[in-house]
Amino acid sequence: MSKRYTISLAFAATLASTGMSLAAGDDNRPAAGVQDNSFLIEEAYNQEAGVVQHINSWRRQGRDWNYMFTQEWPIRTENHQFSYSVPYIWLRGDGVRSQGVGDIFLNYRFQALKETSSQPAFAPRASLILPTGDAGKGTGNDSVGYQFNLPLSKIVSDRLTLHFNAGHTAFVDVEGHRPRSYNLGGSVVYALNRTTNLMLESTIEWNQQVASGLLERERVVTLSPGIRHAFNLAGDAQLVLGLAMPVTFKPEKTDYGVLMYLSYEHSFLK
């Protein structure tokens, strides 16, 4: 699995039939119980004011491992959010054995649209990619990069939520190959109840680079069924555990994987 684009990077309110915004705590639909805890797809809900989220994920794909820690902070209000993502990568496939910190992402996301009865939530994100990985080890690109992503989210029935992503990633100063990628993705989340969801996520990435004057392209399709469960704790804190089985399809091979997820969300304002 390409490590160049493994990082891609969250949720708040839904609505009553009047179309007026409601706080998540006021929405009793099962689909509103767990919202900002997808594994591969970015959701279009910023963190609520005064609430921080700590996200851990461990993913094995083929023989390679990737650990990701992400922390999401609202900037005074729900409209603006800052987050960062720090990966650690273990490469064990294709005769390669190396490990190290990957490229760190610094993210800003704007809540352009809040969900109503007639419109989806929309929260475009811009990210700065820092060259903290090591291209020689396969854990980075030795270049500053950027990423844009356009997530849409909508609760379409009492138990069903749909998400859609479209994005672009590029690196500005990579000697010899100028890598970039484009991604599309979507997911269906079905709420068994207020705390347990079944999920089906899918992504398509088009990775390309120019090497020795030739344009090289690769398409990677991922299909990932999963499940997540929330534990609502004292003080409006929430712990979410998740498990998924991502399968990646590349022209030359298919890789089977496992993904484990742990998120803790709590108030930091008294």
How is the chain split into domains, by residue range?
A: 24-267
Lowest mean pLDDT, pick from 42-46, 105-109, 140-144: 140-144
Could you tell me which residues come within 8 angstroms of residue 253 by beta carbon, excluding any fewer than 6 positions away? Answer: none
Structure tokens at 9: 């990077």
What value does the mean pLDDT take over residues 107-117?
96
Is 233 a residue whose pLDDT tops 90? Answer: yes
Which pLDDT does position 216 carry in this prediction?
77
Which pLDDT does position 8 carry in this prediction?
38
Which pLDDT does position 175 carry in this prediction?
66
* Annotation: CATH topology of 24-267: Porin (2.40.160)
128 within 8 A of 141, measured Cβ to Cβ: no
Is 260 a residue whose pLDDT tops 70? Answer: yes
Which pLDDT does position 43 carry in this prediction?
97
Supply the DSSP symbol for 143.
S
Which pLDDT does position 2 carry in this prediction?
43
Average pLDDT, the chain: 88
115 within 8 A of 154, measured Cβ to Cβ: yes
Q: Give which of 231, 259, 264, 239 is closest to 247, Cα–Cα.
A: 259
Residue 18 binned pLDDT confidence (cut-offs 50, 70, 90): very low
245 within 8 A of 49, measured Cβ to Cβ: no
Residue 135 binned pLDDT confidence (cut-offs 50, 70, 90): confident
Which pLDDT does position 208 carry in this prediction?
85
Residue 252 binned pLDDT confidence (cut-offs 50, 70, 90): confident
Structure tokens at 225: 């069924």
pLDDT digits (tens, 9 = 90+) for 97-109: 899 999 999 999 9
Percent of the chain with pLDDT over 90: 73
Distance CA 264, CA 266 (A): 7
Which pLDDT does position 172 carry in this prediction?
86
Residue 188 binned pLDDT confidence (cut-offs 50, 70, 90): very high
Distance CA 261, CA 59 (A): 9
Residue 210 binned pLDDT confidence (cut-offs 50, 70, 90): low
Residue 38 binned pLDDT confidence (cut-offs 50, 70, 90): very high
Is 1 a residue whose pLDDT tops 50? Answer: no
Which pLDDT does position 211 carry in this prediction?
64
Structure tokens at 55: 């996200």
> Which residues are paired to 254 by β-bridges?
249
133 within 8 A of 70, measured Cβ to Cβ: no
Which pLDDT does position 3 carry in this prediction?
44
Is 52 a residue whose pLDDT tops 60? Answer: yes
